[in-house]
Amino acid sequence: MKFGVLVNEGPYTHQASDSAYQFVVAALSKGHTIQRVFFYHDGVNNATRLTEPPQDDRHVVNRWSSLAAEHKVDLVVCVAAALRRGIKEEVLAPGFRISGLGQLVDSGIKADRLVTFGD
């Protein structure tokens, strides 16, 4: 099955990012395809390389970057939501790219299921 994933909440303030990440890892381990992960609203905060959690905490941004590198998962950040939060291309973590809502629509069309995490 081919999944599209929508993440609407940022790391460390809501369970949505962790749940989305675990869902993607589980889906890939079962042989499913992740068509795209789209970060929208506060979810764009998952994409900034400026995040520095304490050493004893998980590094959510690095997890997503590693996943993109290892499995070639397309991580797309909504341009309008990112700019509203001061996130520009130069602060994106590796593996993320900025694009428009058309990428979310495209994911909904091409995937068998679009799974949403967060409000």
At residue 116, what are phi and psi to the nearest 5 degrees? -110, 135
pLDDT of the residue at 57: 86
Q: Tell me, yes or no, if the pTM score tops 0.75.
A: yes
CATH code of the region 2-117: 3.40.1260.10
Q: How many CB atoms lie within 10 A of CB 49?
A: 15
**34 pLDDT band (50/70/90 cuts)?**
very high
Active-site hit among 44, 78, 81, 114: 78
* Per-domain boundaries in the chain: 2-117
Distance CA 14, CA 73 (A): 22
pLDDT at 64: 98
CA distance 104 to 58: 27
- Whether 78 is a known active-site residue: answer yes
Mind giving me the DSSP string for 2-64? EEEEEE-S-TTT-THHHHHHHHHHHHHHTT-EEEEEEE-GGGGGGGBTT----TTS--HHHHH
The pLDDT score that the predictor gives to residue 44 is 98
- Residue 8 one-letter amino acid: N
Q: What is the pLDDT of residues 39-83, one digit of tens each?
A: 999 999 999 999 888 888 899 999 999 999 999 999 999 999 999
**pLDDT tens, position by position, 80-95:** 999 999 999 999 999 9
Tell me: pLDDT of 28 over 90: yes
